[in-house]
Amino acid sequence: MTMNEIWGSKERWIKQYSSGHNILLVGEGDFSFSLSLGMAFGSATNIVATTLDSYDGLINKYKNAISNVALLKFLGATLLYGVDATYMTNVPDLRWKKFDRIIYNFPHAGFHGLESDPHLIMMHRNLVLGFLWNASIMLCVDGEVHINHKITAPFDSWRIEDLALECSLICIGHDTFDIKDYPFYRNKRGSGRRSDEAFPLGASSTFKFILNPAAAEEVLRKLHSRMSSSSHQVFAMPPVQVYDVRGLPWHNYTSECQKLFGGYLNHVDATFGSESYDVRRSVEEAMRLGFEMYASAVPGRPSVGFIGILEELHNKSILRLQRLQQMLLFQGQQL
């Protein structure tokens, strides 16, 4: 008999989380926050909890991990190991799933020096940005992304609300975070020899974000404009920047981008340099067909997920234009 059968199926709440929500927890330490929710609900069948650690790494790092995992499994939770917060949409067990609440407690890129170090702050911001990009795709239309975060200096300099705007998310408020509201939760450092120790929370808040449809439409418009203009200005392309930062939006969309726009990219190669080629019409038609294919693949998908695919398409277009440009220059030298 499960806890849900013992306690009944009535909807239960703990703070702003309900047993009726499909909940994804990201970057869990010893799974104690997930356990707090599951115990409050009397069931954890609505919870998917993830950790960057492997199972063996987890139980070696945290003394309560084995018991927490056992209780969560008894309550019916889905536990996933080795999940990078900036690559969640690539995880087979998470791909195409939607959640009412996506929670990341105190994201942190690791203890690599003083928290006020600009380089470390950039690492933290890249982590949060990658998470938000993924979360925006995995969120239900009326869902919320929650980040619990310190609000004192230097943590306030992460400016996570600004990062959310880059991911078509807007902040709808902050609630004071009190760890005592979650009886089983034990915050953990998570790395180094003191992984199982708590870190001082101080003043902290739950930042709440929702999808921003207006921002998504604006990004689509800008991408359309950039793609159209770059197609015309073949000999004025900026140099390609090679990024090695995990979590940038286009890293998650290469495969689907090829499915949706592979034909268009081949058409660009075939018609490159043709004076009769209508670039604007071709781009608009490719975007229309691409979006129709995207929407029909999984009914109900939010349009914001299409933005990341367009970012990948834009990046591919720049690379192809430079390659074609080099071909023209080579041919000119042969004449």
Which residues have a Cβ under 8 Å from the Cβ of 161 and sit 6 or more positions away?
Answer: 171, 207
Q: Are 287 and 199 in contact (CB under 8 A)?
A: no
Which residues on adjacent β-strands are paired with residue 51? 81
> Average per-residue pLDDT in the chain?
78
Residue with more model confidence, 334 or 165: 165
Cβ atoms within 10 Å of 138's Cβ, excluding its own: 21
pLDDT band at 1 (very low <50, low <70, confident <90, very high): very low
Residue with more model confidence, 182 or 281: 182
Q: Sheet holding 99-105: strands in order across?
A: 78-81, 47-51, 23-26, 99-105, 139-150, 204-211, 169-176
Which residues have a Cβ under 8 Å from the Cβ of 70 and sit 6 or more positions away?
Answer: none
Spatial separation of the C-alpha atoms in residues 301 and 297, rounded to whole Å: 9
Choice among 106-115, 138-147, 162-171, 201-210 with the minimum mean pLDDT: 106-115
Identify the top-confidence range among 8-22, 30-44, 98-112, 200-214: 30-44
pLDDT band at 275 (very low <50, low <70, confident <90, very high): low
In this predicted structure, what is the pLDDT of residue 70?
96
